[in-house]
Chain A
Amino acid sequence: MKRFAALYDRLDRTTATNAKLAALVDYFRQAPAADAAWAVRFLTGRRFKRLVNTRELREWTVAASGLPPWLVEDSYEHVGDLAETMHLLLPDAQQDQPTPTLHALIKQQIQPLRQLDDEARQQRVTELWSSLSGSERFLLNKILTGGFRVGVSKRLVTRALAEVAGVDSSLIAHRLMGRWQATPDFFQRLIAPASDDDLDQATPYPFFLASPLEDEPETLGEAGEWQAEWKWDGIRAQLIRRGGQTFIWSRGEELMEGRFPEIEAAAETLPDGSVLDGEIMAWRDGQPLPFAVLQKRIGRKKPGPKTLQTAPVAFLAYDCLEQDAEDLRDQPLRERMTALDQVLHKACGLHRSECIAFDDWQALPELKAQSRERGVEGIMLKHLASPYQVGRKRGDWWKWKVEPYTFDGVLIYAQPGHGRRSGLFTDYTFAVHDGNELVPVAKAYSGLTQAEIDRLDRWIRNHTRERFGPVRSVEPVHVFELAFEGIQASPRHKSGIAMRFPRIHRWREDLTVADADRLDDLKKLLPDTQR
């Protein structure tokens, strides 16, 4: 734990990427594999099952600090991060206690919490609090609360591991995909030299991500070297058929077992050793259904026959990463498209995301303008010679999205943000006019500059009308322009509508509350069927 805390301190005490990289490399070289495996797990942001709930942690903090519960809550609201709040409120630890290793702490102290009764758990955690000091205790709290954002990206951890292992970082990224346990064995394999058979059947390839196209497509060069596709508004997924088994991975590296039985059934017809990249869409009769339909399937572990009937899905394949158990990622897109056709030809029930035929760049804007009608987000542009790369690498894959809708809304509620924005009021709720009322229509927490956030935070503190827990209602004064991707009818919301991806475009200090938009106008944007 000492070593891990020292790593954390080094990472936390610099804003320079190279210094962070050096700290990670040093740690992975020196730490025992058993500890390093857990460090990889936490630093790459893998979720750690929470063994204690936050209510208990707050109660135990009240008990250990001797402070009244409301003061612990006020402190939490001020700090914004529970792990840190607890750390700052608890009495200083007793000095010179032996510190367990990271691995021992988790195996012997934290994981056994699951089997203990409430009283014993409180006692165990309270003892840990009084025996660990400084960053060690802060990190313990981070592990207990299940969240681990410490200012390093997964990509940086991958780079450090690649340097330690002496292999390409895309191989490390691949080894970090999918299912794995934080064991010494796993860490050894992670930093082993390149070999053929070190990957599990279920391991997906790292996704290649497109970058937003900011200029006109003409700037990309010869139109004939590019492939255009519709940009689907679904769930990006990787479909794996290996060893007679099917695995569907989301981009968030979640295994979506059992959630999409119709796709799994179709995947059984794939030749063994096939891996496809594509999109899960709500789909009927060759047409996309609104995202709201897909939402009925998200999070549903075992959909019943009724859901399958009302919210059917399909897999739209647009790339082939593996054919006949051979990794095709280094092949140009052109070749992979041929492979995709061959693979899909042998299967049934899986769809091909068709390419858009276009002769020159001039034809594209008009096609893009049809996006909303077609239920897509815009157009993808992929270079026909592009390999399938790892992560977001600019140059070969671009997404050219339709302009978002915008509206002007009034700030009516604010609450403190978390993580990097902790302690500041950064989560806002915006309203529009409905008769004489202001009804909330969107929540947003991004889009302002740090200076604007600071200024708004001060204003909110001085103009609070009422408090509801961490939420404050404020005087309706400030108007913001918000962008969003679409609108759906929603009986759960007072306004009757739900917005997709609302975000702040800019602070309209030139507008007054009277200038804000009306609900009726927003409702005009609802799809015809929902109006």
Chain B
Amino acid sequence: MKKGLLYPDAGGLYCPAGDFWIDPLKPVPRAIITHAHADHARSGNAEVFAATPGIPVLDHRVGGADALSACDYGQPFELGQARVTLFPAGHILGSATVRIETGDGIWGVSGDFKRAPDPTCAPFEPFACDTWLTECTFGLPVYRWQDTTEVIDEIIDWWQGCRDQQRPAVLFCYALGKAQRVLAELHGRAEGPVWLHGAMQPLTDCYRAQGLDLIETRPVSAAEKGYRFAGDLIMAPPSAAGSPWMRRFPKHGSGFVSGWMRIRGNRRRRGYDRGFVLSDHADWPALIQTAQDMGARRVITIHGNGEALSGFLREQGIDSEAWNLRQTLRQA
């Protein structure tokens, strides 16, 4: 593997010029964390740089407030020999892509990103770079997202259908990012309150504290004993599905909001009534469009199965390869 501005090592993705790691897989002296999802943000790093709007959530998720340095989007700062700038990734509140410039060139690194509009975070901002490290969670052409409004219409219709039958509508989605995005999309389009699982409450509070308009919510724990949630919308993380907690919602309908719901088998296996295809990641066309927008001569896929995307880009005449960061860590 060619060594460049960055390469995978035992800690994760390492930049020797700046002596830091991006989204390290284990504790390191100096880290840039792109966003607070568990596969990117881990605790125990001595020094952490992250985008300013992401700090409260990151602090809530991994703690270590003393070690956190807030970096404004678009404001370059120096780390060792490297000049680093964080740009909005459009993934979740405070998510960032990383621009690294040294005498050897410019690299762009994505944590996770999307190009679809999201009322809870700043939109993805492309910047020119020589090498682009792109996430590739949905790196196959079967993944193409429909308009968010259409999906929200579907969710509201389904909720209404459950309401007509006086059943609770339990909507599963990831507790950080997706839940708040859905709550923001529902704001002004539907009548609250929406009931929240305990895991979603503090994160949603973080979002509200930053001035985001979300539909009215209430914690499920605040409901009176014996309340049956007939016709109400309840949001919960996927881990709650099938747990005893679900007994609070007799005869409920269930839905799951995720890009994985694009594939019928994924939904049927999980046993949800409905799958709503809404993702905080780039779909296949957006992955390709972004590789072009970044103007990179070389594209490296990280996070996800990138063989298909890198193969496709190579056929388009772009120098491309797939890195498997986890594999590197295991072998080290």
Cβ–Cβ contact B142 & A79, under 8 A: yes
Residues on A with C-beta less than 8 A from B264 are 12, 81, 84, 422
Cβ–Cβ contact A420 & B311, under 8 A: no
For residue B141, CB closer than 8 A to chain A, the reply is: yes
Cβ–Cβ contact B141 & A75, under 8 A: yes
Cβ–Cβ contact A423 & B315, under 8 A: no
Residues on B with C-beta less than 8 A from A354 are none
State the Cβ distance, A466 to closest chain B Cβ, in Å.
14
Given contact pairs A78-B140, A89-B141, A68 touches B265 in the complex (Cβ within 8 A): no
Cβ–Cβ contact A75 & B142, under 8 A: yes
In the bound assembly, the distance between CA atoms of A419 and B265 in angstroms comes to: 7
Write the chain B residue with the least CB distance to A19: B273
Q: How many residues of A contact B (CB 8 A)?
A: 30
Write the chain B residue with the least CB distance to A138: B264
State the Cβ distance, A112 to closest chain B Cβ, in Å.
29
For residue B262, CB closer than 8 A to chain A, the reply is: yes
Cβ–Cβ contact B141 & A13, under 8 A: no
State the Cβ distance, B159 to closest chain A Cβ, in Å.
13
Residues on B with C-beta less than 8 A from A89 are 141-142
> Which residues of A from 1 to 34 have beta carbons under 8 Å from B?
12-16
Cβ–Cβ contact B315 & A68, under 8 A: yes
Per-position 1/0 for B270-295, Cβ under 8 A of A: 01111000000000000000000000
Given contact pairs A68-B315, A71-B308, A421 touches B273 in the complex (Cβ within 8 A): no
State the Cβ distance, A477 to closest chain B Cβ, in Å.
14
> Which residues of A from 446 to 466 have beta carbons under 8 Å from B?
450, 461-462
A-B pairs under 8 A by CB, number: 65
In the bound assembly, the distance between CA atoms of A80 and B266 in angstroms comes to: 11
Write the chain B residue with the least CB distance to A16: B273
State the Cβ distance, A259 to closest chain B Cβ, in Å.
36
Residues on B with C-beta less than 8 A from A423 are 263, 265-266
Residues on A with C-beta less than 8 A from B307 are 74
State the Cβ distance, B19 to closest chain A Cβ, in Å.
30
Cβ–Cβ contact A450 & B269, under 8 A: yes
Residues on B with C-beta less than 8 A from A79 are 142, 263, 265
Given contact pairs A68-B312, A74-B308, A421-B265, A13 touches B273 in the complex (Cβ within 8 A): yes
For residue B268, CB closer than 8 A to chain A, the reply is: yes
Write the chain A residue with the least CB distance to B270: A450
> Which residues of B from 291 to 332 have beta carbons under 8 Å from A?
305, 307-308, 311-312, 315, 326-327
Residues on A with C-beta less than 8 A from B262 are 88
Q: Of the candidates B141, B271, B274, which one forms a contact with A71 in the assembled complex, judged by CB atoms under 8 Å apart?
A: B141
State the Cβ distance, B168 to closest chain A Cβ, in Å.
14
Residues on B with C-beta less than 8 A from A12 are 264
In the bound assembly, the distance between CA atoms of A16 and B142 in angstroms comes to: 28
Cβ–Cβ contact B265 & A85, under 8 A: no
In the bound assembly, the distance between CA atoms of A71 and B263 in angstroms comes to: 17
Residues on A with C-beta less than 8 A from B269 are 420-421, 424, 450
State the Cβ distance, B312 to closest chain A Cβ, in Å.
6
Given contact pairs A70-B311, A420-B268, A14 touches B263 in the complex (Cβ within 8 A): no
Per-position 1/0 for B6-48, Cβ under 8 A of A: 0000000000000000000000000000000000000000000
State the Cβ distance, A246 to closest chain B Cβ, in Å.
43
Per-position 1/0 for A459-475, Cβ under 8 A of B: 00110000000000000
In the bound assembly, the distance between CA atoms of A151 and B268 in angstroms comes to: 9
> Which residues of A from 399 to 451 have beta carbons under 8 Å from B?
419-424, 450
Residues on A with C-beta less than 8 A from B315 are 68
For residue A65, CB closer than 8 A to chain B, the reply is: yes
State the Cβ distance, A58 to closest chain B Cβ, in Å.
14
Residues on A with C-beta less than 8 A from B272 are 15
Q: Of the candidates B141, B144, B273, B312, which one forms a contact with A14 in the assembled complex, judged by CB atoms under 8 Å apart?
A: B273
Cβ–Cβ contact B142 & A88, under 8 A: yes
Write the chain B residue with the least CB distance to A422: B265
Residues on B with C-beta less than 8 A from A450 are 269
Residues on B with C-beta less than 8 A from A16 are 273
20 contacts between A and B (CB under 8 A): A14-B253, A14-B273, A68-B315, A71-B141, A71-B308, A71-B312, A75-B140, A78-B263, A84-B263, A84-B265, A88-B141, A151-B268, A420-B269, A421-B265, A422-B263, A422-B264, A422-B265, A423-B263, A462-B326, A462-B327
Instruction: State the 3 A-B residue pairs at the shortest beta-carbon distance, nearest first.
Output: A88-B142, A422-B265, A75-B142
Known: A71-B140, A71-B141, A462-B327. 15 other contacts (CB 8 A): A13-B273, A71-B312, A75-B140, A78-B140, A78-B142, A79-B142, A79-B263, A81-B264, A81-B265, A88-B142, A89-B141, A422-B265, A423-B263, A423-B266, A424-B269
